[in-house]
Chains A and B, each alone.
Chain A
């Protein structure tokens, strides 16, 4: 029978080893654990056309153009931007200046052809009157 104190150290030791092992695995898999690539990462990695991936960023203000079923807009991370074309229904929260994640592939012309568009909202919650008051006071800042 192993004494109590030794059992405690054995337990803490094995947990520490396990923690380090998991941290190493996660950092090795880092590239696969991200849900989407930003326009900057897309530019950096030179993703091949027709290769499917998810593109995430903000819908650039003033860039949304609707033409029947077809929607064109620009996804930006303020450094780089990627034009997107999508045919289909957009989620309710899809708005200019809001976060968005689109799944699809780059066409040969550099336009991202989305098969699915998801809205991503931020961590702020407030009543509509408060949001209006902040906007009127000119204190509103768009995040990321």
Chain B
């Protein structure tokens, strides 16, 4: 009985995924979701920034500089989540030939690249006062820079062919290869000794950040997540429109 119901649930879940795989239907869904999502993003960002910049205390060692974390860490998380999304979309395109996957990958790559860049720049500005250097070639920093270049490679490859579908497929292969870098970024601080300190939040034994600093960080992380989804949805709508116009052009 239970098994039957679970099978039905699974089929329904798959059906809803297939439902959104159709670009036209996805576009209608996205247009309906975007206003509420935009409102939620702004509200969370306001609350998060208030906690991060005003309410949260300075750190016992780093003083006010610790506030850079509220930009640095969420953008690092989102840049990695964004690349995981590119990998999943790459698989959806190459294996299941989902028509929406390629469009969404084109929409998501520049957004992820921006988050990676914010992570690198804020990290550099944080490193100078705390470590005494803007940049070192340790395993964490280098693998994060590689992630940024993988994003740039994805953008370049998807525009490298006259036939956009060939570009989509080449970029999807790069996205899947680059996924190998994600665990390297995450565990670089455990596998090798690095100047970058080990993980503070996603670690065995729980976070090592006091709740007064951790809660603002999580608010900012949720705000960045909503912002990421919002930007990807908007850009995907634009990609759908662009493909349609191009198709209409070819017919005319």
Contacts and interface: CB of A to CB of B under 8 A. Distances in A.
A74 B61 CA distance: 21
A123 B62 CA distance: 12
Given A18-B177, A119-B130, A120-B195, A126 B213 contact: yes
B197 to A, nearest CB: 5
Contact of A35 (B58, B95, B180, B194): B194
Contacts of A124: 200, 208-209
Interface residues on B, range: 35 or more
B37 to A, nearest CB: 31
A33 interface: yes
Interface of A: 4, 7-8, 11, 15, 18-19, 22, 26, 30, 33-36, 38, 56, 90-94, 101, 116-132
B61 A11 contact: no
B138 A128 contact: no
Given A18-B177, A125-B66, 5 more contacts: A4-B95, A15-B176, A30-B192, A33-B191, A126-B212
List 8 A-B pairs, minimum CB-CB distance, nearest first.
A91-B132, A131-B60, A127-B57, A126-B210, A35-B138, A123-B200, A128-B60, A125-B209
Nearest to A7: B95
Interface of B: 57-62, 66, 69, 91, 94-96, 129-133, 136, 138-139, 176-177, 179-180, 184, 191-195, 197-200, 203, 208-210, 212-214
Contact of A127 (B91, B132, B194, B210): B210
Contact of A11 (B57, B176, B184): B176
19 contacts: A7-B94, A7-B95, A11-B95, A33-B139, A33-B191, A34-B139, A34-B192, A35-B192, A91-B130, A91-B131, A91-B132, A93-B130, A120-B131, A121-B62, A125-B66, A125-B69, A126-B212, A127-B59, A128-B58
